[in-house]
Amino acid sequence: MFTLPETRFDFGGDEYIYAEISRDMSAESNFKALAIVNELRKRNIPGIIEIVPSNASYLVRYNPEIIPARDLLDYLKDIDITKSNPAELNLSVRMVEIPVWYDDPITREYSRRFKSRHQEPDISNFEFAMKVNGFREKEAFIEAHTRMPYLITMVGFLPGTAWGFPLGLHPQEIIQVPKYLSPRTDTPRQAVGVGGAFTVVYPVNGPGSYQLIGISAVPVYDNEKRLVDLEDTYFLARPGDIWKYRSVDEREYSRIVEEVKQGTYRYRMKYIEFSPQEYVTKGKVYIRELMEGF
């Protein structure tokens, strides 16, 4: 039977316990981190102040005057044992569509502005991502990036930034791109970037070092709460979400942007029960089954 990695625990001063499931990123390690974090929140253990999941780890902040460190560690180890079998880790998550205008003029302009910080200053970020992944045709690269969905493994950095790790692909199929040699001092809001194997949508203007391959037509952060789907939160992303990128042309991009401005846009999404066990055993086939009709 396949089991997930054993977790390593470390104390961070008097108020933190850091739990490292794996040093190598994998969807399976993130499933375990999400399941443990969800269970911790359900138990509502007195003394726990904050729980933060990451790619293949999680951090717990606690009040040592309410719960001794060793008692909390015993709780964590007990939960860890119960969450090491993928068959026990079913997750209720959302699948969310993100419409993207690939190789758009906005991110091409940012490629030009910050070319002095780039490995290959004479080509755009999009062309660089194509080149390092062996693509000669723009359409083939876009098809590869939109073919399978991305698991939101963590949220952080700029407000609402969500890291998406591709699901259902063999390592050689995953688009991977090195980051800028030196970070940009500015990135356009809603730009789509790739760094390593991760894809992000920049929620606001700010610094960044991921290669820019397109721009999202929809916000992932809405401080004005204009949209129905974001009326209870500022942020679109939740750890455990599954995002599916869809290529749109300039005309559709402009139409969606206008709907967002008017406050009438509704995100295309559906709620699913995700089985890490089926993912482990069936891989790409299971992901395609989940995507049917979406």
Res 84 pLDDT > 80: no
Q: What is the pLDDT of residue 67?
A: 94
Lowest mean pLDDT among 99-108, 123-132, 134-143, 267-276: 267-276
Alpha helix segments (H runs only) across the chain: 27-43, 69-82, 105-113, 125-132, 138-146, 250-262, 276-282, 284-291
Estimate the crossing angle of helix 69-82 against helix 27-43, to 10 degrees.
120
DSSP states of 76-145 as a string?
HHHHHHHTSSGGG--EEEEEEEEEEEET-HHHHHHHHHTGGGSSSTTS-HHHHHHHHTT---HHHHHHHH
**Do 273 and 92 form a contact (C-beta atoms < 8 A)?**
yes
Q: How far apart are CA 178 and CA 134, in angstroms?
A: 14
**Do 46 and 67 form a contact (C-beta atoms < 8 A)?**
yes
Res 106 pLDDT > 90: yes
Q: How far apart are CA 49 and CA 67, in angstroms?
A: 11
Lowest mean pLDDT among 53-62, 92-101, 204-213: 53-62
**Do 147 and 244 form a contact (C-beta atoms < 8 A)?**
no
Per-residue model confidence as pLDDT tens digits over 150-166: 999 888 877 789 999 99
CATH numbers and ranges of domains, the chain: 8-87 (3.30.1360.40), 92-291 (2.40.100.10)
Tokens of 174: 């995953």
Residue 105 CB: number of other CB atoms within 10 A?
10
Q: Which amino acid is at 228?
A: V
Res 231 pLDDT > 90: no
Res 89 pLDDT > 90: no
The per-residue pLDDT of the chain, averaged, comes to 91
Q: How far apart are CA 236 and CA 290, in angstroms?
A: 21
**Do 178 and 132 form a contact (C-beta atoms < 8 A)?**
yes
**Do 246 and 208 form a contact (C-beta atoms < 8 A)?**
no
Lowest mean pLDDT among 23-27, 207-211, 272-276: 23-27
**Do 245 and 227 form a contact (C-beta atoms < 8 A)?**
no
Model confidence at 3, pLDDT cuts 50, 70, 90, reads low
Model confidence at 4, pLDDT cuts 50, 70, 90, reads low
Lowest mean pLDDT among 75-89, 107-121, 142-156, 185-199: 75-89
Give percent of the chain above pLDDT 90: 67
Res 2 pLDDT > 70: no
- Cβ contacts of residue 217 below 8 Å, gap of 6+? 99, 100, 101, 190, 248, 252, 253, 256, 257, 260
Tokens of 80: 């860890």
Burial of 285 (0-12, 13-18, 19+ CB in 10 A): exposed
Q: How far apart are CA 174 and CA 20, in angstroms?
A: 24
Per-residue model confidence as pLDDT tens digits over 246-273: 999 999 999 999 999 999 999 999 999 9
Res 221 pLDDT > 50: yes
